[in-house]
Amino acid sequence: MTIKATRLTIAAVLLGASTIAASAQGFTPESPECIAPANPGGGWDFTCRQVGKLMQDEGLIEKTMQVVNLAGGGGGVAYAEVVNKRADSNDLIVAASSATTTRLAQGAYPGNTMDQVRWLASVGADYGIIAVSADSELADLPALLEQMKTDPTSISIAGGSAVGGWDHLKVLIAANAYGIDDVRSVKYIAFDGGGEAVTQLLAGSVQAFTGDASEAKGFVESGDIRVLAVLAPERLEGDFAVFPTAKEQGVDAIGANWRGFYAPGGMSDEAYDAWVSKIADLYASDAWKDVMANNGLAPLDLQGAEFEAFVADDVARINAISKEIGIIQ
């Protein structure tokens, strides 16, 4: 390549970058809205409310973010709503996570695929936990899994994703790592969000709960639940450092739930670039770093095309895992 050609290429890249930046700066949502595809109290609700509040606090949006809880189908109701009825909304973002890609990987959103929406950015990764009520006689994760192995009908585990969803998969991964050969014997009961699942645990309807660190924190602080294990490669930092990992208890199970957002498939490029930029600026802020530290979120900083490629890889990975453990054919 000649020096002149090189200069032209660099100029084109810089022009493209400045065009995106200008485009992003030129769009301001008139009525910013975030859909949390579950009832209040779960991880998606947490993501919408924390990001919406801090975006306004940091001056990234001018008006209050309206949070709409649209539960059902492990996120499928919200996905269908966005694809079929809100496809051209520029003011709308939707909370997503590994639960979203799990359902897409398993074909559980009838007629819907990942390319019908636009993937914006991630805001961190939330490690899975397995917990029991504070007064449970189960002392640790091996005790729970041993009872599941010897008397599977005696243990029901509640989660905030649909059957076959990410909360369900986390328990199956732990069960499989412990040596439970037929993971289909595990009794999993699905609820519309982690908050509802914990409510059922506290009511005594189930014996254990599977969710994510961020959605369990408030219930731990209130003294209602006790975390048996975090599905992380090593102990989390801060307040979560007191929780043992599954790995240190002899159960080699890891389950990281990414958190981020998608947007309607017909969103304009100008609005898309602006939302990607706003989420990136939020992620880089000290305020969001504090939220991550206080809620056990691990770093995961992906935007735009890079995040879309990550989601595609995640769908393929979970599809393979789901086939391996018999969730899908």
- What mean pLDDT comes out for the span 248-271? 95
The DSSP line for 165-185 is SHHHHHHHHHHHHHT-S-GGG
With both helix axes pointing from N to C terminus, report the angle between 304-324 and 166-178 in degrees, rounded to the nearest 10.
50
For 156-184, the pLDDT digits (tens) are 999 998 888 889 999 998 998 999 988 88
Residues written for the chain: 329
Residue 323 in this model has a pLDDT that exceeds 90: no
- What mean pLDDT comes out for the span 21-46? 84
pLDDT at 178: 95
pLDDT band at 25 (very low <50, low <70, confident <90, very high): low
Residue 17 in this model has a pLDDT that exceeds 80: no
Closest CA to 291 of 193, 214, 219, 216: 214
CATH class of 28-126+257-324: alpha beta
- What mean pLDDT comes out for the span 234-245? 87
- What mean pLDDT comes out for the span 306-315? 94
Coil/strand/helix, residue 288: helix
Q: Residue 63's CB: how many other CB atoms inside 10 A?
A: 12
- Identify whether the C-beta of residue 262 lies closer than 8 Å to the C-beta of residue 171: no
pLDDT at 6: 35
pLDDT at 2: 40
Between residues 172 and 10, the one the model is more confident about: 172
Name the least confident of 133-137, 146-150, 215-219.
215-219
For 179-232, the pLDDT digits (tens) are 998 888 999 999 988 889 999 999 999 999 999 888 888 898 899 999 999 999
- Identify whether the C-beta of residue 156 lies closer than 8 Å to the C-beta of residue 207: yes
For 40-84, the pLDDT digits (tens) are 988 899 999 999 999 999 999 999 999 999 999 889 999 999 999
- Identify whether the C-beta of residue 103 lies closer than 8 Å to the C-beta of residue 199: no
CA angle 159, 163, 166 (to 5 degrees): 60
- pLDDT, the chain, mean: 89
Residue 20 in this model has a pLDDT that exceeds 60: no
Q: Tell me the pTM.
A: 0.78
The DSSP line for 33-79 is EEEESS-TTSHHHHHHHHHHHHHHHTTS-SSPPEEEE---GGGHHHH
Domain boundaries, the chain: 28-126+257-324, 128-255
Helix (H) or strand (E) holding 190: strand 187-190
pLDDT band at 18 (very low <50, low <70, confident <90, very high): very low
Q: How far apart are CA 326 and CA 210, in angstroms?
A: 20
- Identify whether the C-beta of residue 236 lies closer than 8 Å to the C-beta of residue 291: no
Cβ within 8 Å of residue 188, ≥6 positions away:
156, 157, 158, 159, 163, 167, 168, 171, 210
Q: Is 128-255 the same fold as 28-126+257-324?
A: yes
Residue 279 in this model has a pLDDT that exceeds 70: yes
CATH architecture of 128-255: 3-Layer(aba) Sandwich (3.40)
Q: How far apart are CA 6 and CA 3, in angstroms?
A: 5
Closest CA to 128 of 169, 164, 100: 169
